[in-house]
Each structure stands twice: as structure tokens, then as C-alpha cells.
């Protein structure tokens, strides 16, 4: 996805520069423009809405405090997503250490959109390393080089995970459709 996209006719870089000068409304607009992407990415790590909300809230707080450390305004979105991924990983580590007694979700909560639920179920069946790369590439439109930077890995590793992730997704999807 183009890092120079505009939100309401205002460039991302302009909003970042305003936020860097202390304009809280510019920061809010930057976050609002990234809200859906942040939710999708956090959702790829968690099914629990509380964990998703915690990851996004921690990301916003960290981004606000760390904004002066952003070296190039055009990389705001990449920088923000990297913070989010780190927050998600932190929450996963914290949850592993706590290992609470298994909590069962409320029964009877219907899925708003069955197709969406099926897709999410398929995505959740994939290993996290494939799910994240697929979501960043297909869901958020990041290039292979940007994903490599976000996840701090080699571009060839990203390409391999994309290929394997597609194959695993296809295999799971084909297996489910074969049973209909």
C-alpha cells in the first residue's frame, strides 16, 4: 500500500509533521486512519476482544509517547504496525506465563457474518507466522520488502512464508469444502 496515501485530502506526512509539532488532533486523525488496519492485525493474533483492545490501546499509547523518535514521516504506518506487532507478541508472552484456567466463551453468541467467521476460522487454523504475513500482504497491502522490515526478517523468508501460507490456507480451505 502506498505510504503517501491521503486521508480526507490531507497527506499522511503532513499529519505526522503536525502531530510532531504537538497537534493532538493530527495524532488522533492518524490513529483513526489506521484503526481498521490495527484491528485486523491484532485480530490475526487474538480471538479475544479484550486482548485485541489491550494491544491497540498499548500501541496508541506507545506511539504517542514515541512519536518524536519517528525518523521519517512517510513511514508512520509501518512504524505503527511494527509497534502493534510487538505489543501483540508481548501480550502472548504474558498470557503464556499466566496460563489461567481455561475459560469457556458464552454459548449461543451468533456470528454476525458467517462467511467472515469461516474465513477467520481458516486464518486462525494457520500458524501465526503464516497468518501474519498473509494478512499484512493481502489484507493490508504491504509489499514484501515492507513486511520484511516490519517483522525484522529477510525478504526471502517473507516470500517463503507467503508461499507456504498460501499453500496451507488452500489445503485447509479445500479440505473444508470437500466435506460439503
- Tens digits of residue pLDDT in 73-128: 888 999 999 999 999 988 888 877 654 444 444 444 444 444 455 666 667 678 88
Q: Give the model's pLDDT for residue 141.
A: 82
Residue-by-residue DSSP string for 99-121: -PPP-PPPTT---S-HHHHHHHH
Residue 135 has pLDDT above 60, yes or no: yes
Mean pLDDT (whole number) for 41-50: 88
For the chain, how big is the Rg over CA atoms in Å?
Answer: 18
Q: Give the model's pLDDT for residue 95.
A: 77
- Supply φ then ψ for residue 10, to 5 degrees: -105, 130
Residue 14 has pLDDT above 70, yes or no: yes
User: End-to-end alpha-carbon separation of the chain, Å?
Assistant: 36
Mean pLDDT (whole number) for 134-141: 82
Q: Give the model's pLDDT for residue 154.
A: 94
Q: Give the model's pLDDT for residue 4.
A: 46
- Three-class SS state of 4: coil
pTM as predicted = 0.66
Phi-psi region for residue 143, left (φ > 0), alpha (ψ -120 to 50) or beta? beta
Burial annotation 104-122 (CB, 10 A radius, 16+ → b, else e): eeeeeeeeeeeeeeeeeeb
- Supply φ then ψ for residue 49, to 5 degrees: -60, -30
Q: Give the model's pLDDT for residue 28.
A: 94
Amino acid at each position: 500500500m502506498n505510504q503517501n496515501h491521503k486521508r480526507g485530502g490531507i497527506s499522511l506526512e503532513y499529519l505526522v509533521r503536525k502531530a510532531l509539532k504537538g497537534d493532538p488532533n493530527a495524532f488522533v486523525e492518524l490513529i483513526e486512519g489506521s484503526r481498521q488496519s490495527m484491528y485486523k492485525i491484532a485480530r490475526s493474533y487474538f480471538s479475544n476482544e479484550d486482548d485485541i483492545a489491550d494491544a491497540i490501546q498499548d500501541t496508541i499509547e506507545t506511539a504517542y509517547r514515541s512519536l518524536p523518535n519517528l525518523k521519517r514521516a512517510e513511514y508512520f504506518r509501518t512504524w505503527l504496525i511494527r509497534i502493534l506487532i510487538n505489543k501483540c507478541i508481548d501480550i502472548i508472552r504474558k498470557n503464556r506465563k499466566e496460563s489461567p484456567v481455561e475459560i469457556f466463551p458464552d454459548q449461543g453468541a451468533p456470528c454476525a457474518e458467517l462467511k467472515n467467521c469461516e474465513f477467520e476460522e481458516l486464518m486462525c487454523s494457520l500458524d501465526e507466522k503464516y497468518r501474519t504475513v498473509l494478512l499484512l500482504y493481502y489484507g493490508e497491502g504491504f509489499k514484501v520488502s515492507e513486511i520484511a522490515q516490519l517483522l525484522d526478517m529477510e525478504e526471502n523468508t517473507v516470500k517463503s512464508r507467503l508461499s507456504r501460507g498460501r499453500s496451507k490456507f488452500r489445503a485447509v480451505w479445500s479440505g473444508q469444502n470437500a466435506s460439503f
